[in-house]
Amino acid sequence: MDTIQGDQRCACKPDWPAAKARWRAFWDMAATDRPCLDLRAFLPDKGEPPPIPPTLEGRWLDPDYLTAFAVHNVASMYFGGEAVPTNPVILAGWTLGCGPDVRFAETTIYHPVTTSSLDEPVRWWPGPADPWRAKLERVYDRLLEAAKGRFLVGYPFQVPVNDLLMLFRGNADFLTDLAERPELCTQRLREMLPAWFADQEHFFAMIDAQQDGCVWAWPGLWSDEFVMETQSDMSCMISSDLFERYVMVELDAVGERYERVWYHLDGPQAVRHLPTLLSRPYVKVIQYVPGSGAAENGPAWLDLYRQVQAAGRGLDLYVSLGTMEFLIRHLRPEGLVLRCGVHSPEEAQDWIDKAPRLAGRDIGKGK
């Protein structure tokens, strides 16, 4: 994707040009004195957030509310180290093409089950005539205008097709279909991909025309060149064989189209697919999230991190203050980003100052 090239300034992060230089080194896997550190702290006394709209749909799609919320959120946040100064994620990308039965809740958006059988094409209606697209365009028009000179605007995120197809069919019915008729599931996935790409790229172009670089609001990514984020939540429920036959059909198409992929690996049950992911050269970064009930990112997963680094890939990890020093010491700093909430700007700066003294000191040592 084409992006504006330049040295865009952000009022909420005066040191953004220096942070961009470290992000460039991250993507190049270049030698560096410390990992990228995304360190965020809430700033006090920034006023009250805007009032929540009276309707659930308004919480997710009201342009004025989402813009005011983003402006307040950015003003209330200290973006330390390489934290990307961007808006909170716009989850309303999940609505695209989903028809009138989308269900909004206070904390999420639910996809409707639209398809009773995969013997017929999937009932999904993306494209220029989709009313959800028009509503999301209004959100981004307003947000991009308000962001100028203040912060960066991240792309909307649509659920990847491998997960989207399961949501439209219903989880249990789809998993039965995948076990009994994997070729049909893959056929339907392939049929959906062109419209999914077109919907995504419509919004990529809208945003890229007005700002510098590729920006994802979650987890906070920036790159001079386009990087595609993707994942497969349903992969924790399927075998490595079905992952290769179904999920990787989409991922290979994504890799062929965009060349650089950041992959969200979610939970211990998905770890079995890591060798397959690392076999694809377009997978540049693995984000590992252990998930609820599992040990947090830290010593318990050191072998996994080293497997990723041995393959020459980047690592993106949410960590706690209690495990950050361990990871800085035990992992190579090249192509590594650690994300952690801190209590104050001063605490963030302390980590930035001491990280070069710690980086890689215990590589090769055990837990």
Assigned domain for 361 exists: no
Closest to 169 in 3D by CA, of 246, 272, 249: 246
Cα-Cα end-to-end distance for the chain: 41
CA distance 328 to 136: 39
> What would the pLDDT profile of 347-367 be if each residue is shown by its tens digit?
999 999 999 999 999 998 877
Instruction: For the chain, give the number of residues.
Output: 367
Cα 263 off chain centre by: 8
As given in the structure block, the two tokens for residue 118 are 């995969």
Place of tokens 């100028």: 148
- Structural domain that includes position 198: 48-216
Assigned domain for 221 exists: no
Closest to 92 in 3D by CA, of 78, 102, 81, 80: 102
Cα 2 off chain centre by: 20
Query: Looking at this protein, which amino acid is placed at residue 187?
Result: Q
Please state the pTM of the whole predicted model: 0.95
> What would the pLDDT profile of 147-182 be if each residue is shown by its tens digit?
999 999 999 999 999 999 999 999 999 999 999 999
CA distance 301 to 86: 29
CA distance 232 to 113: 18
Assigned domain for 222 exists: no
**Rounded mean pLDDT of the chain?**
96
Show Cβ contacts of residue 206 under 8 Å, excluding neighbours closer than 6 positions: 137, 140, 144
> What would the pLDDT profile of 283-342 be if each residue is shown by its tens digit?
999 999 998 899 999 999 999 999 999 999 999 999 999 999 999 999 999 999 999 999
Closest to 215 in 3D by CA, of 142, 158, 152, 148: 152
Assigned domain for 248 exists: no
Assigned domain for 146 exists: yes
Model pLDDT, residue 46: 83
Number of domains in the chain: 1
Query: Looking at this protein, which amino acid is placed at residue 95?
Result: T
Asked if residue 222 has pLDDT above 90, the reply is yes
CA distance 79 to 89: 16
Assigned domain for 66 exists: yes
Cα 80 off chain centre by: 19
Assigned domain for 169 exists: yes
Assigned domain for 88 exists: yes
For residue 262, the surrounding DSSP H or E stretch is strand 261-266
Show Cβ contacts of residue 176 under 8 Å, excluding neighbours closer than 6 positions: none
> What would the pLDDT profile of 29-59 be if each residue is shown by its tens digit?
999 999 999 999 999 888 899 999 999 999 9
